[in-house]
Amino acid sequence: MVPAEYVITDEEKEILQEIMNIAFGKAAADLAEVINIFVVLSVPYVKVIKAAELPDYIRHEIRDFSHISIVEQNFWGEFKGSALLIFPAGAGKELISLLDDDAEASVESGSIDLLEKETLMEIGNILIGACVGKLTELLGDVVTYSPPRVIVENNPREIIPANLFDQDYSAIVMKTVFRFDERDINGFLFLTTNPESIKWLKESLYGFLAQYE
């Protein structure tokens, strides 16, 4: 039985969903400022699942991608967890030219894999940083980030170790699906929080909403 303080109510989910919507909108605008791209946003989705089910949940969500590229970044403050930005494999190559005007020359010189990783890392850093940053700003927290880690063309089955969280607890998964319009690339952003954050999160969500009472 999950203790009540770790249970997220429907109202709390709705508040979190709206905050996630604002946060990812900010992230998309930040990215559009840095590179010439338009990000098509979708309605964000918040789900609370058992930590043990998390790897299977994410594998199911990205089932259409046979191979994937992942940017992973951890964050910690009162709000603590992991962000996973997931693209189909090869997306990095598509996106290189947006960040690097000399991409063709670089590709010819054979450094495509390195460039792809750097591109994904840069895009991941902007999207994750702006999204998590805005989310925590709205909730009155400041977080510290680990350096982003890029895994290219990994098998989707390997992305999340089953023992990431204590298996008895809940994990909050915030999912946003987005599309880079000019490049026809879809991706997912998952934010997962660890159970220690949930009590703080619940209080902060109502604190945020109290401004609008």
Partner 1 sequence: MIKKILIVDDSPISRKMLKSCIPKDGGFEYFEAGDGLEGLETFKEVRPDVTFLDLTMPVMDGVQALDEMKKFDTNSIIIVATADVQVKSLERVMQLGAFHVLKKPPTKDGVQDILRKAADHKGQLNGPC
Least distance CB 28 / partner 1 (angstroms)? 6
Residue 69 vs 204, nearer CB to partner 1: 204
Select the residue interacting with partner 1 from 39, 51, 127, 128 (CB under 8 A).
39
The verdict on 98 binding partner 1 (CB under 8 A) reads: no
Site for partner 1 in 125-144 (CB under 8 A): 138
- Binding of partner 1 by 203 (CB under 8 A): no
Q: What is the distance between the alpha carbons of residues 27 and 13, in angstroms, rounded to a whole number?
A: 20
| SS3 category, 31 | helix
Query: How many Cα atoms are found within 13 Å in the side-chain-facing hemisphere of 14?
Result: 4
Q: How far is the CB of 203 from partner 1 (least distance, A)?
A: 16
Binding mask 8-37 vs partner 1 (x if CB under 8 A, - otherwise)? ---x--xx-xx--xxxxxx-xx--xx----
Closest to partner 1 by CB, 18 vs 94, is: 18
| Bridge partners, 71 (sequence order) | 85, 150
CB–CB of 169/2 below 8 Å? Answer: yes
Q: Say how far apart CA 6 and CA 200 lie, in whole Å.
A: 10
Burial class (CB in 10 A: 0-12, 13-18, 19+), 101: exposed
Residues that bind partner 1 (CB under 8 A): 11, 14-15, 17-18, 21-26, 28-29, 32-33, 38-39, 41-43, 138, 209, 212-213
